[in-house]
Chain A
Amino acid sequence: MTAATIPIRIDHEACTECRMCYVVCREIDLNAVYVAPEPLHRFEIDPGRCQYPGCTACLMYCPAPDSIIEVGSGRSLVPPPPDVWTPDRRVARETA
């Protein structure tokens, strides 16, 4: 059984493209953050792979306020709000 996920996106006005989210996501083998195949090569989040709120690893390492946004609510996730700042959500959890 797969946990319900909530789509999140990168706000390119705020993102500094430091690559921390990409690297963290690669390290835990989710591979949800990817380089968009367009000339600006901005980072995007694949909703088919992202496990937020089951995983919030990228949020914990993102240095740029407001650069990762919850799509539905529009709320900023950087710095992480208290409800996502819990130890058991800092890394990908077993979902199957």
Chain B
Amino acid sequence: MDQQADSTALAADLRILAEADARRTPMDALLEAAGRGEWDDDRGFRLLGRLWTLKRAMYYVYGAWAMGLNVNEFPPAVAYLFGKQIYDDSTHEMQYVDEILRRGWAPTQRAAFAHPYCAFVPATRLAYFVFALRALTNYRQNIRIAALNLGAKVIELAWLERLGRDWPDPALRALFAGQVAETRSHVLMGRLIVERWVGSAVDEGLARIDHRVVRQNYLFALDEIAAATLGLAEVKGEVSVPKD
């Protein structure tokens, strides 16, 4: 018989680990640059373009994960919460392109889609984060959600809170702040899923491994986004290569 995991302690531990990662992220370098006035439309377009690309790519991940929500494996509540998460991330994706269009950085959504700042390029850290998440399709939903919602989502929540509180530009500050509640709900959904549906020691082990990988990949992706925004890495062409 399989050993039982202390799922409440596991959920708390996973969140604490991610919160430690989140104390300072590459996004804070952008906040500091904007606070010093080292900001312009090009940097704004780069930032929102990359964030839009990352959110768009989540459709690719969630589509695969939804296929893996096997009939009768989990109660409907798990699918309800997942459906809401897909909807929320879709809303956030829409907000990023809304702001790009509103500011006239691209005349149409089609033009934004074709712009290098908004391109999904396979050989990037952003893409690696996405592909690795997609690869979790082979895991059960409780493990995937433990890794994403108590990993990357915790880190995302932290930088969203800071940028939503301190970003100098009121429109962008409102955009970031407006995403906080829904992102926090994803973190709490992760807590619920882990507490109720990560019951075995095997599941706990898998969750811990995937959680570590997802956090690391997300931080690499954020590092690339920040570097691209600040002009420290190329965002044009086939690959994103740091200049150093």
Contact = CB atoms under 8 A, between A and B. Distances in A.
A41 B91 contact: yes
A37 B95 CA distance: 8
Contacts, number: 36
B29 interface: no
Interface residues of A, number: 12
A38 B178 contact: yes
Nearest to A38: B178
> Chain A binding site: helix, strand, loop or mixed by DSSP?
loop
A29 B108 contact: yes
A52 B158 CA distance: 41
B30 to A, nearest CB: 18
Contacts of A37: 95, 171, 174-175, 177-178
Contacts of B174: 37-38
A41 B178 contact: yes
A12 B21 CA distance: 39
The interface size bin for chain B is 10 to 19
B178 to A, nearest CB: 5
B180 interface: yes
> Top 6 nearest A-B pairs by Cβ distance?
A37-B174, A29-B108, A34-B98, A37-B175, A39-B181, A37-B178
Interface of A: 22, 26, 29, 31, 34-39, 41, 46
11 contacts: A29-B107, A31-B98, A31-B108, A34-B102, A35-B94, A35-B95, A36-B178, A37-B177, A39-B181, A41-B95, A41-B178
Given A41-B95, A46-B102, 7 more contacts: A29-B108, A29-B110, A31-B102, A35-B94, A37-B171, A39-B177, A39-B181
Interface of B: 91, 94-95, 98, 101-102, 107-110, 171, 174-175, 177-178, 180-182
